[in-house]
Amino acid sequence: MRIAFLVAPEGVEQIELTDPWQAAKDAGHEPVLVSTEAGEIQAFNHLDKADTFPVDEVVGEARAESFGGLVLPGGVANPDFLRMDEKAVAFVRDFFEQGRPVAAICHAPWTLVEADVVRGRVLTSWPSLQTDIRNAGGTWVDEQVQVCDHAPAKLVTSRKPDDLKAFCEAFLDVFGQEAA
């Protein structure tokens, strides 16, 4: 399965990109780095610059139907940038409209709020997003990982880097079910 990892050109929390990426590769999937600009993205370890990673596809040219699922890593700046980009928001919304599974960790649900896809869903995130999620019609829970089966697309969410093991296991299980 091809899995899109959507990130901004700068600000993604590196471990929230690299751990799920490696988990997807180890499970036999093809992770694809999608961003709003060509070239490289700059990852961060909290507020410090970390590594750079090459962009595989640009969001304006990438299509949800060419992927089996979508992973949205966090970092404070990353989803804030993405939610201000109309093409990125439309890309995310397309996964839900097409019933393709989505996984989001930490601050990433900000992009989901902007895409208007949390209404009627139960999800978790970094705690500071709970008011935004509730205001967008979602139910926020303080859980390590939350899987929401609300149609048309399954959504896997987690709170923070400490939840990465459970997050990776859950999204790989959900994505695997969708691929079967």
10 Å CB burial of residue 19 (0-12, 13-18, 19+) is middle
Q: Is 148 a catalytic residue?
A: no
Instruction: Choose among 99, 70, 48: nearest CA to 1.
Output: 70
Helix, strand counts (H, E) of the chain: 6, 12
Annotated active-site residue in 106, 118, 122, 136: 106
Altogether, the residues listed in the chain come to a count of 180
Looking at beta carbons, which pairs linking 29-32 to residues 24 or more positions away fall under 8 Å?
A: 29/1, 29/2, 29/3, 29/68, 29/172, 29/175, 30/1, 30/2, 30/3, 31/3, 31/5, 31/71, 32/2, 32/3, 32/4, 32/5, 32/56, 32/57, 32/62, 32/67
Mutual angle of helices 164-179 and 14-26, in 10-degree steps = 40
User: So which residues are the catalytic ones?
Assistant: 106
